[in-house]
Amino acid sequence: MTLAEAILAVHSSRDKVSPGEFLNVKVDMVLANDITGPIAIREFNKIGVGKVFDPQKVVMVPDHFTPNKDIASAEQAKIIREFCVQQGCHYYETGRAGIEHVLLHEEGLVLPGDVVIGADSHTCTYGALGAFATGMGSTDIASAMATGEIWMKVPQTLRFNYRGRPQNWVNGKDFILHTIGDIGVDGALYSAMEFGGEAIENLSLEGRFTMANMAIEAGAKAGLFYADEKTKEYVNGRARKPYKVYPRDACGEYFRVIEYDVSKIEPQVAFPHLPSNTRPVSKASSIVIDQSVIGSCTNGRIEDLRVAARVLKGKAIKSDVRCIIIPGSQAVYLDALREGLIEIFIESGCVVSTPTCGPCLGGHMGILAAGEKAIATTNRNFVGRMGSPKSEVYLSNPAVAAASAVAGRIMNPDML
């Protein structure tokens, strides 16, 4: 079996499963946030069971409109806060939390071999650890909170092999943008994307989180990596329970195998208004920007901030550009502070925000006006995603986003 099939088989008490089969799957973690959680809670209360199936396997994180930007968002956060207190679930308050898809693996709540579901499409992030993780609707989450199970179809698996040595400033964000540009936003529709190869073995955990995070942008049900020594090194000391590492099955059957030579991939930029509208950064230098956002559940980890700081050190943000830095969690923020990265950002003219999804979904902390253009390390650039439907969002890695803030137009850091 493939990795996705192996995990689903164990969690449905089956020896073997095949693509297309429908299963009842036991879950290890159920997630919701301040936007999706209140809907899930409302539907959960309709079921009438009273208590969640296991409070240690339910977590809610206020991260989208937090710190609360208005009365409505404060009421949303209050609903999930009170529910978690009543039920005894995991809850992370502003000041001790961060963006959910940076926080949960940081806290050791999701582990290799787990089945993780969340009322947020980027729940697929945890596949970087060798987990089967996927986003679902709030009503599905309500059912899972009551029963501890989900009903789902086994996805087919697409295998992506990356070989070669990447160019300067090229990382996991560029691998996944190039891949989505190649196969399209529906190229992995209801499939598991399994990532491997020499370049993946050499890729950091942060880079793998970025790639798994954006599997949904190709339409995938999940994006998975086999756990290796890097994974175990990251997980050990964080894990709150035992975990299972699945070795690769040489007899696993893939629907399709796709090969990439990463040495031929330049830093990538996704043009409006789809993550698949990708071009090399060398084809984007004519784009003048008004704002640069470095952060989000895609690229808000400490490695991402280190890369941005390398580019920004000793330089100044262009006077008519806003550069917003958003650490993915309080722990990332503290690490950046201790390493002197925050000082570099502020001296360059950046604004540093408390952890939040904020501008990624057009919530707050960086909304675009009509006609404005932003480059961002976020995951989506749909029409109106970051504000006005007449604005434009370009996606890139942190190095390109930082260099662009200095140049005032989209720029390869090597050209500064």
Please indicate, yes or no, whether residues 233 and 348 belong to a single structural domain of this protein: no
> Which has the closest alpha carbon to 309: 322, 321, 327, 296?
327
Rounded CA-CA distance 404/406 in Å is 5
Is 39 inside a domain boundary?
yes
Give the pLDDT confidence of 95-117 residue by residue, as tens digits.
888 999 999 999 999 999 999 99
Is 314 inside a domain boundary?
yes
Count the helices and strands in the chain (H runs, E runs): 14, 18
> Which has the closest alpha carbon to 373: 347, 402, 404?
404
Please indicate, yes or no, whether residues 104 and 229 belong to a single structural domain of this protein: yes
Is 181 inside a domain boundary?
yes
Domain boundary among 260, 295, 316: 260
Please indicate, yes or no, whether residues 64 and 205 belong to a single structural domain of this protein: yes
Rounded CA-CA distance 178/87 in Å is 43
Please indicate, yes or no, whether residues 217 and 279 belong to a single structural domain of this protein: no
CATH number at residue 43: 3.30.499.10
Q: Specify whether the CB–CB gap between 112 and 243 falls below 8 A.
A: yes
Task: Write out the chain's pLDDT in tens, 416 residues.
Answer: 999 999 999 999 999 999 999 999 999 999 999 999 999 999 999 999 999 999 999 999 999 998 899 999 999 999 999 999 999 999 999 888 899 999 999 999 999 999 999 999 999 999 999 999 999 999 999 999 999 999 999 999 999 999 999 999 999 999 999 999 999 999 999 999 999 999 999 999 999 999 999 999 999 999 999 999 999 999 998 999 999 999 999 899 999 999 999 999 999 999 999 999 999 999 999 999 999 999 999 999 999 999 999 999 999 999 999 999 999 999 999 999 999 999 999 999 999 999 999 898 998 999 999 999 999 999 999 999 999 999 999 999 999 999 999 999 999 999 98
Please indicate, yes or no, whether residues 338 and 374 belong to a single structural domain of this protein: yes
Please indicate, yes or no, whether residues 379 and 317 belong to a single structural domain of this protein: yes
Give the pLDDT confidence of 201-233 residue by residue, as tens digits.
999 999 999 999 999 999 999 999 999 999 999
Please indicate, yes or no, whether residues 275 and 228 belong to a single structural domain of this protein: no
Rounded CA-CA distance 228/245 in Å is 8
Rounded CA-CA distance 201/248 in Å is 14
Is 243 inside a domain boundary?
no
Angle value at C-alpha 23, between 18 and 25, nearest 5 degrees: 115
Q: Which domain holds residue 304?
A: 266-415
> Which has the closest alpha carbon to 185: 176, 194, 174?
176
> Which has the closest alpha carbon to 405: 302, 284, 314, 319?
319
φ, ψ of residue 66 to 5 degrees: the values are: -115, 150
Strands 90-91 and 58-61 come out as parallel
Q: Specify whether the CB–CB gap between 399 and 167 falls below 8 A.
A: no
Element (H, E) at 351: strand 351-352
For 282, other C-beta atoms within 10 Å of its C-beta total 12
Structural domain tally of the chain?
2
**Residue 66 confidence (pLDDT):** 86
Q: What is the CA radius of gyration of the chain?
A: 20
Model's pTM, two decimal places?
A: 0.94
